[in-house]
Chains A and B, each alone.
Chain A
């Protein structure tokens, strides 16, 4: 059974640019969550999508957005990048809810210069 895949694995962007990260969940999983991990703030929940709808949301500014497609694949977008957006972005999938076992991808390491 293939695991959660995230692309790209590494990304370097400049302040003010925007970026799109992609996540393919485990086959059959309908819930996809996104997390930001930084040394200063730790692991923080961004949002969760289920059946193409954002169901849960963390405390991040509107520059962070996401979507989910009919095949459960998900993308997150960060517009007007700031230096503080440099982080490891993790995607996790579960069958139906973050309140059950989640499988995490390897993450996308975003560096903003």
Chain B
């Protein structure tokens, strides 16, 4: 069975600080996909990134970066120079690649608060 653990329930940082959100996953599949979604106070989940299990390259997109390490089954997300607009709940998710099992298993989310 798939499982995603986001051990950090809530994090608060002062604006402009860097912050890392942790994600640890479990799966028996060799082919899978990992995602990060953001849920701002408005409620709509917003896609941030997708990574397949064969691509361990770290990715940077502006102030956001992701570190994927298969050896530790982790897919961590770092926000550099945080801003108030980054305040939201962030979800890590996992999906198998097998037909009939293409469904996202979400972690419990990390509520990030950026203090001005």
Minimal beta-carbon separation of A23 from chain B (angstroms): 13
Q: Which chain B residue has the least Cβ–Cβ distance from A31?
A: B102
A-B contact pairs, 22 of them (CB 8 A): A33-B103, A33-B104, A43-B104, A43-B109, A45-B103, A45-B104, A45-B105, A55-B102, A56-B101, A56-B102, A56-B103, A90-B45, A98-B104, A101-B50, A102-B47, A104-B37, A104-B44, A104-B45, A104-B46, A105-B44, A106-B44, A107-B44
Contacts of A33 in B (CB 8 A): 103-104
Interface string of B72-116 (1 = CB under 8 A from A): 000000000000000000010101010111111111110000000
> In the bound complex, how far is the Cα of B61 from the Cα of A100, in angstroms?
18
Interface size on B, residues (CB 8 A): 24
Main secondary structure of the interface of B (DSSP, over half): loop
Contacts of A92 in B (CB 8 A): 45
Which of B99, B103, B105, B108 has most chain A Cβ within 10 Å?
B103
Q: Using a CB–CB distance below 8 Å, which chain A residues touch chain B?
A: 33, 35, 42-45, 48, 55-58, 88, 90, 92, 97-107
Contacts of A56 in B (CB 8 A): 100-103
Q: Which chain A residue has the least Cβ–Cβ distance from B107?
A: A42
Contacts of B100 in A (CB 8 A): 55-56
> In the bound complex, how far is the Cα of B37 from the Cα of A98, in angstroms?
13
